[in-house]
Each structure stands twice: as C-alpha cells, then as structure tokens.
Amino acid sequence: MVEVRLESVSKRFGRVVALHEVTLTFEDGSFTAILGPSGSGKTTLLYLIAGIYKPSSGRIYFGDRDVTNMPPNKRNVGLVFQNYALYPHMTVYDNIAFPLRLKKLPRDEIDRRVREVAKLLHIEELLERYPSQLSGGQQQRVAMARALVKQPDVLLLDEPLSNLDALLRIKIRAELKRLQKDLGITTIYVTHDQSEALALADRIVVIDRGRIQQVGTPDEVYARPRNLFVAGFIGSPPANLIPAKIVARSGSACVAIGDTVYCPDKPLSEKLARFQEVIVAFRPEHATLGEEPAENMVSIEAEVYTVETLGKENIVTLLVGATPVKVVVEPSVRPQPGSKLFINVEPEKLMFFDPETELNIEYIEV
C-alpha cells in the first residue's frame, strides 16, 4: 500500500497532447475513479502510473520513491485490463501463478498464494479450467486474482467491468468495493461509466481532453460540479442546462429563465450582478411537475415534449423555449405531449454557470 503522486505530468504523442500538466495525489488505501469520455486521457493516465508509458514531462512518485523512469515490473502494481488478457493455453491456476513464477518464488509459496487469492475471489473450483471454459464474470475474477496474487502496492483497473452484462456489472462492482475495503490497497479505477464511479469510489477525478476538470467525493462532483462539463457528464440523466438572462429588479440582480424571474438572496445576487447571461442548471430528480407554480419554489413554465416509461420511474422531457429539460417523476405521472406544466425546483437546488468560462459561479470569487 502506498500513496501515488503525480507532479505536472504531461504526455504527448507527436503533436497530440494526451495529458496536460496533471498534478494529483492518490492517498494510501484510497479507491479513486478516473472518469471521462472516450479519448479523454484516462487510460493514458493509468498507463503512466503503471509504467507502460513514460511521461513527456513531470514526475511520478510512489510514496517517496521517484518511479518516473522505472519499468512496470519494478513498480509492484497489479493491472487488470478491459479484456482481462488471460493466457488461453494456461489453466486458471497457471494464469494466477504466472507473475509469481516470473519472480522465481518457491513452489509451495506460489501454491499457497494462488489458493488464498482464489478463495478470496470465490474461484477455488475453477483452478483447473481454461479461460475458454469460463463466463465473463469468472474471467474477470481470474484477472483480478492474477493482479492481487502479487500483493501489489497499487491496484490499477482499466474498465474491468465494461464487457459484462448490466446485472453482472452491478453484482461484481459490489464485490469489488468490499474487496478493496478489506484489503486496503490503493486502487485507481478507470471508467467512462459515471454510475460505476459514483457507486465505487471514495474520490472521483473527472477528466476531459487531457485536463483535470474536477477532483472530489462522489457527493461533491454530483451536487457541486465545478463546470458545465462535469454538470453535463455526471448524473443519469445529466443536469439540465438552460440559458438565462440577468435582469434588474428593485436594485438586485435576478435571473430570467424563460418567462420566470427568480430573485435570489443578497450573496448570490451580488455574484450574479457581474454577468449579463448565465446557464441555469438543476438535476432532473430535483424537480417536480405541477399545473400551477409551487409556493417557495422556482417555477418554470414549459411544454411537454415526450414521456419515457422506465418501470420504476418516468422521464418527462419538456421544452423551455427551444431548450429540452428532463424531469424524473413517479411512474404514475404521464402528462400528455403538448400540455403546459410548471417545472418546480427548490432554489437551493439551482446552480449557475458563466457561459464564457463555463465555471460554476459558486467557485468564482467576487
């Protein structure tokens, strides 16, 4: 177990900057998710920590050790790939034992470790099978066992659940979270699935186009997104984003959202006074629908566009002007397309973003 630290790390492939000036600390024993869309640089970041790539600039530390130019086999990391990368001609036992044989450990030590980790991951009965005889979930466990049998200081996971079906992903991610807590290994988990990141991680690093967008707990990146990218990427469905104008009312800065004018308290009003326009955001699950404006709520008139029925809930898409807005409602709520309703949101659930910098104005100092 070890703290992993990156200091001003960049990675270039020719003219392409895959990672730009990344400074991060992964605390000893923590479970961190690196979350971003395809091409964001998240796997590049993982491979730099593993030693598969060398940084173009910057330094990487494991505790007090500078491992920037150290090869992967000297770093004591366990790496699980998206496709599991099991050797098809080897049994499960031999796949798990392979990294220990490379270290030339005694045969009885190898056997003890293989059987211990197999028991930990509930695959003892699979040790004599070959990868082709295993299900996707079983292969995933074998790949995890092979990474853990080395007793690594750092466990690196590159989208290990993406090849599994939805129900199996939910089952295995619960097992993975328990396993990491029990072992206390510093774990870095790459994913494009924000529900996985929110469910698994102690801390989330949101990355886009090679730049870190936000670092925080799942609650922080969900409730207080630092910028429009994070607001639009986190959540299912993601946050609604509505263009709005700043207007003056009785000497205060207020927000005109469609035909609705909302005048916030003084501290927020003073911040809003710096802008002519803002992007108003709120989560679909933080709004309700009604035929009339609701008391003590910000009520925005909208037209129902469509209703998606998902069993446990419905998602209603409405139009505020030309902007589509989604609201999560009870399965019994099924308004007719074309009807007029009010979207009601508690004032404290609203977020405001600067259209130019795309920053949440909560993070902008007056």
Average pLDDT (145-171) is 85
The letter for the amino acid at 277 is E
Of the candidates 183, 226, 182, 222, the one whose C-alpha atom is nearest the C-alpha of residue 199 is: 222
pLDDT at 11 over 80: yes
Q: Which residues contact 154 (CB under 8 A, 6 or more apart)?
A: 2, 4, 26, 49, 62, 75, 76, 77, 78, 185, 186, 187, 188
Give the pLDDT band (50/70/90) at residue 170. Answer: confident
Tokens matching residue 304? 């129902």
Residue extents of the structural domains in the chain:
4-233, 240-363
Q: What is the pLDDT of residues 62-73, one digit of tens each?
A: 999 999 999 998
Q: What is the pLDDT of residues 247-289, one digit of tens each?
A: 999 889 999 998 899 999 998 999 999 999 999 999 999 999 9
Report the interhelical angle of 166-183 vs 136-148 (nearest 10°): 20
How far from 238 is each of 195, 233, 234, CA to CA, in Å?
11, 6, 6
In this structure, the dihedral spanned by the alpha carbons of residues 221, 223, 225 and 226, taken in order and rounded to 10 degrees, is: -100
Q: What is the pLDDT of residues 281-316, one digit of tens each?
A: 999 999 999 999 999 999 999 999 999 999 999 999
The letter for the amino acid at 294 is A
Q: Do domains 4-233 and 240-363 have the same CATH topology?
A: no
Q: What is the pLDDT of residues 316-344, one digit of tens each?
A: 999 999 999 999 999 999 999 999 999 99
Average pLDDT (134-157) is 90
Task: Classify domain 240-363 by CATH number.
Answer: 2.40.50.140
pLDDT at 354 over 80: yes
Domain spanning 4-233, CATH class: alpha beta
State the pLDDT at residue 175.
83
Beta bridge partner(s), residue 22: 9
Beta bridge partner(s), residue 19: 11
Average pLDDT (93-121) is 93
Q: Given strand 65-66, what is the order of strands in its sheet?
A: 16-26, 4-13, 57-62, 65-66
Of 79-93, 156-170, 205-219, 290-304, least confident by mean pLDDT is 156-170
State the pLDDT at residue 163.
74
pLDDT at 109 over 90: yes
Please provide the average confidence, as pLDDT, over all residues in the chain. 93
Give the pLDDT band (50/70/90) at residue 363. Answer: confident
Average pLDDT (103-114) is 94
Higher pLDDT, 236 or 128: 128
Give the pLDDT band (50/70/90) at residue 179. Answer: confident
State the pLDDT at residue 366.
60
pLDDT at 168 over 80: no
